[in-house]
Structure 1
Amino acid sequence: MEIQTVKKMEKEAIKSSGFDFIRLGAALFFMVAVLSYSFMSTGGIPNNVFLAIAALFGAYMAMNIGANDVANNVGPAVGSRALTMGGAIVIAAIFEAAGALIAGGDVVKTIKKGIIDIAAFGTNADSFIWAMMSALLAAALWLNFATMAKAPVSTTHSIVGGVMGAGIAAAGFSIVSWGTMGKIAASWIISPVLGGIIAASFLFAIKKTMVFKEDKVEAAVKWVPVFVAVMSWAFITYLTLKGLKKVWPSIVDILIFLPDTKKPTFIVAAIFGLVVGIIVYFIVKTVVAKKAHNIENSRIGINMLFTLPLIFAAALLSFAHGANDVANAIGPLAAISDAVMTGGISAKAGIPLWVMAVGALGIAIGLALYGPKLIRTVGSEITELDQIRAFSVAMAASITVIIASQLGLPVSSTHIAVGGIFGVGFLREYLDTTKIQDEIIHDKERIVDEKKQLKALHAELKTLEVKEEKGKTEYERIVDLYKMIDEEESRLKKAKKMLKSAQKVKYVKREAVKKIIAAWVITVPAAAVLSAAIYFMIRGMVL
């Protein structure tokens, strides 16, 4: 039997290592293809070797974004079983790539978030190129490490740390905009707290309006269309503000009735969302009313109604993420491309199609090859999710960004999504606190009673055992007492075990919370130190 078990384990290990080899081979093939294309298409241009190596780093960074960051968009849907792992990867890969290519824009800021002063490089294009290469590689390496450790971290913060570290190495601490860095540090608290509060609020509202009702089906017919309509408004508003801002001028040229602005205003985005929300409300109301007689009058029945909205949420979040965060991979690469082609340093750089393709394809490939590990972490290893809880997290992901953008607060989509998961888990603990406390009080009272009974039995047994002359009745009673003491001790042990179990009920895994928060806090400094070290290494090899 043991030999069979060992053989089975060996077989699984060989199968796993074979799959790992295939994944590594596919990733290396993509990176080598990018390197080769970049080198051959820029032949004869000075510093084209640096551009080719930077393209390699950009491909590596894009794959790491796909492996780590995309999990926040589809993880809750997978954890709640609204989507299978395969389905989530296909949907996310398609919409991430579509968001990057369609709405990623044709111009990108070369210095992410304006965290360093570009003027500090002067006319030294070489130093700038080395700094951007260092930032790319450092951010990618940190994301790779975080993915291996199953810690969802912010790719934006990773590249920010990389740019800061390389900037300091190149021109000293004065190059950094410390006010901007302070805002980024503030987002470590603002993002998860806002995401958690909003996710918990929606979960509580759904529980109060439907789950806690006796006739859950009747409540669902009334309220599910409302919640899905609110979600539609939030996502269309979010998508307009974050996913379409880079191609907004082109949209304004086509739809001439829109205000002629460089990017969509909140009012315009909210009106778009409102129109879609109203349409969705009447569609969902009709569909739910027709299905009412087939819906189970239970939480499970209500859960099933949120499956389709969750799939749409995963797709829309992926599109907005691809449009918004592709700049983390291609921003520095576009800056290097511009510097190599022009020989100068620009605050903004045009994005060649091949550079955009590197970002879009890299994110999709990284997600397909290495995304499942983080998707499982986000979806099931922090707290247990069902469709209602996952829906609340998706709502938090969109509404928090909308609120933050209007208030000018710095937020991270990664921290919002994970904070939302924390929020729904802690709300479950809070709602069950009274029930658990009642169980603890009951168990403690039971233990006290059992101890009193046990003490009385021991006292009676002692009295009988010290008695010199004992008859048949006394001996029979002694035997019975021993049996009763054994039974009483067993009941006492069981009561203590139940008490310990009641006191340990936690819906959010504390170790996961500690690990993730620690990764968030050290992301910027870790990427900065790594980037500075890489910069000095590159400069040392070149000079």
Structure 2
Amino acid sequence: MSDRPVNQWKTLDKDLNRISHLEQATQYVARPLVAPGLGLAFIVIVAVAAAIFSGGSPDRLIVISAAVFGAYMALNIGANDVANNMGPAVGANALTMGGAIAIAAVCETAGALIAGGDVVSTISGGIVAPESLADRATFIWAMMAALMSAALWINLATWLGAPVSTTHSVVGGVMGAGIAAAGLAAVNWPTMGQIAASWVISPVLGGAVAALFLALIKAKIEYADDKIAAARRWVPILIAIMAGAFAAYLSIKGLKRIVSIDLPTALIIGLGVAVVAQLVSAPLIRKQSEGLENRKKSLKKLFGIPLVASAALLSFAHGANDVANAVGPLAAIVHAVQDFDTASKVQIPLWVMVIGAAGLSFGLMLFGPKLIRMVGSQITKLNPMRAYCVALSAAITVIVASWLGLPVSSTHIAVGAIFGVGFYREWHAERRARELGILKGKPVAPEERSRRKLVRRSHFLTIIAAWVITVPATALLSALVFWVISTLTL
């Protein structure tokens, strides 16, 4: 018999090692379920809050159900829509993902609670004639169907990686429910025609404005012999344009709850802010540029802080405007239940606004990174200068569209601006390659130029397809949901 010592803990060590591996595997498998679990917990909390605030109403279950779907809608808007504001800054490495989410959550919530939800039209801007939904029960179920269908569609689009217009989703939902409730005659078709036109107007206008600013930056700064001196002259001007555009934009779109401002007044405010921004930023840029090398890489540092500021302002404006997409139908249902009235305009209660604001922030934190990465880096490569052009385009295009009375989508403008920057870079790179080839006597073959694509065509086609079918898809889904509900209840 051997006298060698026996390791009595060997079996226990093996067992503990297996348990450790099992725990790691369990954590890895469970990780994808954390975000949906927290989202579900938020929806449950909203249901409890709705039960408290609805009091002893005989239609208490209707309010709770509407609040649940409103919370679900807000989560999806936060996951999908907010990426348009923060994606470029993250893609340009001006912000980390965590920093972007923190800034967006604060600014979205502030925008929603401070300046959001002044008055919301329960028929989504005249899409459906109010008299066609005069019956209280029909009105409530139509709004419920619109809310459910829009939320489901945005969820699907987020899963597919396509940023879509939440406004168009709600419009499509209301239209589908209106048709199911009262027929085709109930729909305001001229308004729907304007919305269809915005599918083309928004991205083209946004892309054109972003491309023009990128061309300006390349011509006046990047290709200048003394890049730093050119930057000291032009970057304060670009900051002034950004500050003025955002001042006018927020005056028109973001401050309705505080004070009503018309377009001429907003433009005067924007001009005043632009002058102040020019005077303040010029010495700051001069100080920041001291010691920088005369090369393109140095220029990126000068655009970092303005880009972060523009992303924060875009998030504030988005929270102020698009929170109504999440809670508008919910507010309409609460109004109809409590006041027995289907008026075309209702005031959003504070507790409903809080649901919308919290839902936007939670949706961004839990599900936003996927779309932020896609918008920021997977469509085309962005740097701080290109991303700054996207932010500028988003603000300026909305001002121009408001002035011209054109229907536009902020989502389509922002993503269209990214496409515009990418396609301009393709065109510019091909032109320079052709010129350099001619100078060197070696023209670039067409086959080689065709391979130098700076915009991913797969994402381009997916996003365009999602934009085109948003209204028809949500309308069809809403009509189906309304038919099911009315069959069971009416």
Asked if 2 retains the 8 angstrom alpha-carbon contact of 1:232 and 1:280, the reply is yes
Residue number among 145, 148, 152 corresponding to 2:156 in the alignment: 145
Match of 1:393 among 387, 390, 395: 390
In structure 2, the residue corresponding to 1:114 is in which secondary structure?
Answer: coil
1:279-290 alignment, distance < 5 Å: 279-290=276-287
Q: Which residue of 2 aligns with 1:523?
A: 470
SS at match of 1:306: helix
- Which of 293, 300, 303 aligns to 2:300? It is 303
Structure possessing the higher radius of gyration over alpha carbons:
1
Counterpart of 2:290 in 1: which secondary structure?
helix
Displacement, 1:335? 0.4
In structure 2, distance between residues paired with 1:282 and 1:305: 16
RMSD over aligned CA atoms reads 2.1
1:75 aligns with 2:98: no
Match of 1:30 in 2: 42
Q: Distance in 2 between matches of 1:394 and 1:445?
A: 38
Q: Which amino acid aligns with 1:62?
A: A
| CA distance, structure 2, for counterparts of residue 287 and residue 520 of structure 1 | 41
Please give the alpha-carbon distance, in whole angstroms, between the structure 1 residues aligned to 2:446 and 2:115: 56
Counterpart residue type for residue 205 of structure 1:
L
Q: Distance in 2 between matches of 1:154 and 1:11?
A: 41
- Give 5+ residue unaligned stretches, structure 2: 1-20
* Preserved contact between residue 117 and residue 321 of structure 2 (Cα < 8 Å): no
| Residues 76-475 of structure 1 aligned to structure 2 (within 5 Å) | 76-122=88-134, 124-248=135-259, 263-437=260-434
* Amino acid in the other structure paired with 1:300: K
Secondary structure in 2 matching 1:112 = coil
TM-score, with length taken from structure 2: 0.92
Indicate the SS of the match to 2:52: helix
Q: Which amino acid aligns with 2:330?
A: L
Output the CA distance in 2 between the equivalents of 1:502 and 1:106: 51
Would the aligned equivalents of 2:289 and 2:302 in 1 still touch at CA under 8 Å?
no
Aligned residues: 470
SS in 1 for 2:252: helix
TM-score (norm 1): 0.83
- Distance in 2, matches of 1:306 and 1:16, equals 39
**Kept in 1: contact 2:430–2:449 (CA 8 A):** no
Q: Is the CA contact (8 Å cut-off) linking 2:117 and 2:323 kept in structure 1?
A: no
Q: Tell me the CA shift for residue 434 of structure 1.
A: 2.7
Using the aligned pairs only, state the percent identity. Answer: 53
Question: Which residue number in structure 1 is paired with residue 16 of structure 2?
Answer: none
1:461 equivalent in structure 2:
none
**Shift of residue 179 of structure 1?**
0.3
8 Å contact from structure 1 (residues 111, 347) kept in 2? yes
- Residue equivalent to 2:487: 540
- Residue aligned with 2:356, SS: helix
Alpha-carbon distance, 1:173 to partner: 0.8
Distance 1:443 1:14 in 2: 61
Alpha-carbon distance, 1:121 to partner: 1.8
**CA offset digits 1:370-409 (Å, max 9, x no partner):** 0000001110111000000000000100000000001100
Shift of 1:16: 4.9
